[in-house]
Structure 1
Amino acid sequence: MQWRNSKDRFGWLATSLHWVMAVMVVGLAAVGLWMTSLNYYSPWYTSAPFWHKSIGLVFAALLLVRLLWRWLSPAPAALPTHSRVERMAAGTAQWLMYAAMLIIVISGYLISTAKGSGVSLFGWFEVPALISGLPEQADRAGAVHYWLALGLLGLAGLHALGALKHHLIDKDNTLRRMLGMRLRNSTENGK
């Protein structure tokens, strides 16, 4: 597998970013929801947010790399067997997920910096608080963070269902291109 995207498939860099970030989205959402149930006496009360924020910063960096890579190495074209509606739905869902991820990262930063403190990256260094003290900053950013995270999980679920539909029902190369699998014969009616 080559590192750059080609006209037929995703390269290993795009594929790796996609799957690592997919796992991170699910993990960060699960930890984020779990953290809201912790009370002051929980042994995880301070360490869970520390890890959530640190991994969130790594996620933010990967998101920037992914968006840059998407610009430098465009995704393969949709398969000719995909209908216009499928292409539009897939494109819309992908860009909505990118937008949601970006806003989730920004809102997480605004929650973390609301009181003027920076955000620690695993204790190695601190990302400074450039924006703080806005009216109800933590509460408003928290609501955006929460609801967009749930929306992103829903969109990701639809995205996964679409990929499975293409793989199991249409039996085309859509999912194979993102898994690095050998492509089915491209002479099979555009599949």
Structure 2
Amino acid sequence: MAAKNSESAYGWVAIALHWLMAPVVIGLFALGWWMRQLSYYDPWYRQGPELHKAIGILLLIALLLRLAWKFLNISPADVPGTPRWQALAARLAHGGIYLLLLAIMTSGYLISTADGRAIDVFGLFSVPASIQGLPNQEDIAGEIHEILAWTLMGLVALHALAALKHHFIDRDATLLRMLGKPGKPERQRSIIDEPNHESKHKPTQDLSASK
């Protein structure tokens, strides 16, 4: 498998970044939701947020790498037979996911650095608090962070359902391409493209006989 994308397939770099980031995004959401349930005296009350912030910074790095790789590569063409509105909806969903991730990480950064402390990333490096002291910075950023996180999960769920719909209902190669598999020949085009079963076998009417 090539590293770069082609007209018909994703390269291994794009595929690896996709499947690396997907579980991390969902895991960070689950971790954030779980942290809200912790009591002040729970040992994870302080450890949880530190873990959440560190993983969030690493996810931001992966996202920036993915966006850079996306701009440096061509995007595979739509699977033949995909309706134009579905192709447009997919592009809007992808763009929405990227924008939401950037906004969520920005708000998370504002929450984490509101007190002027840098974000430590597993002792490897730290991200300085370059923005601090804004009015109600932590509270406002926290509300935005939560709303955007739930919105992102909704969009991710729709994205996953659409992929399953392509695989099991349309029986096309959309999901297989992101798994690095070309798919069987019958999956190379959508069943929307297939002729009606009846029209395949219906004999052509002899118009001269009706005259």
TM-score where L is the length of structure 1: 0.96
Q: Secondary structure at the match of 1:68?
A: helix
Unaligned runs of 5+ in 1: none
- Alpha-carbon distance, 1:123 to partner: 2.1
> Partner residue of 1:67?
67
1:42-99 deviation line (CA, Å, top 9, x unaligned): 0101111111110000000000001000001132111121101101110000000000
CA contact (8 A) 2:82 2:190 kept: no
Aligned counterparts, 1:126-141, within 5 A: 126-141=126-141
Q: Read off the aligned partner of 1:130 and give its amino acid letter.
A: S
- Alpha-carbon distance, 1:186 to partner: 7.1
| Distance of 1:91 and 1:141 partners within structure 2 | 28
**CA pair 154-81 structure 1, distance change in 2 beyond 3 A:** same
> Partner residue of 1:153?
153
Pairing 1:23–2:23 present: yes
- Alpha-carbon distance, 1:2 to partner: 1.4
> Partner residue of 1:102?
102
CA contact (8 A) 1:54 1:120 kept: yes
> Partner residue of 1:91?
91
- Give the superposed CA RMSD: 1.5
- Alpha-carbon distance, 1:37 to partner: 1.3
Query: Where do 4+ consecutive residues of structure 1 move more than 3 Å?
Result: 186-191
Aligned counterparts, 1:152-171, within 5 A: 152-171=152-171
- Alpha-carbon distance, 1:4 to partner: 0.9
| Distance of 1:189 and 1:40 partners within structure 2 | 55
- Alpha-carbon distance, 1:121 to partner: 0.6
| Distance of 2:57 and 2:139 partners within structure 1 | 20
Larger radius of gyration: 2
Q: Read off the aligned partner of 2:123 and give its amino acid letter.
A: G
CA contact (8 A) 1:172 1:184 kept: no
Tell me the number of residue pairs that the alignment of Structure 1 and Structure 2 aligns: 191
| Distance of 2:178 and 2:21 partners within structure 1 | 13
TM-score where L is the length of structure 2: 0.87
- Alpha-carbon distance, 1:189 to partner: 4.9
- Alpha-carbon distance, 1:181 to partner: 1.7
Q: Read off the aligned partner of 1:62 and give its amino acid letter.
A: A
Pairing 1:143–2:143 present: yes
**CA pair 187-39 structure 1, distance change in 2 beyond 3 A:** closer
CA contact (8 A) 1:5 1:14 kept: yes
Q: Percent identity?
A: 48
Asked which structure has the greater RCO (Cα within 8 Å, sep 6+), the reply is 1
| Distance of 1:59 and 1:101 partners within structure 2 | 9
Q: Secondary structure at the match of 1:96?
A: helix
Q: Secondary structure at the match of 2:63?
A: helix
| Distance of 1:187 and 1:58 partners within structure 2 | 36
> Partner residue of 1:7?
7
Unaligned runs of 5+ in 2: 192-211
CA contact (8 A) 2:80 2:188 kept: no
Q: Read off the aligned partner of 1:183 and give its amino acid letter.
A: G
CA contact (8 A) 1:114 1:133 kept: yes
Q: Read off the aligned partner of 2:22 and give its amino acid letter.
A: A
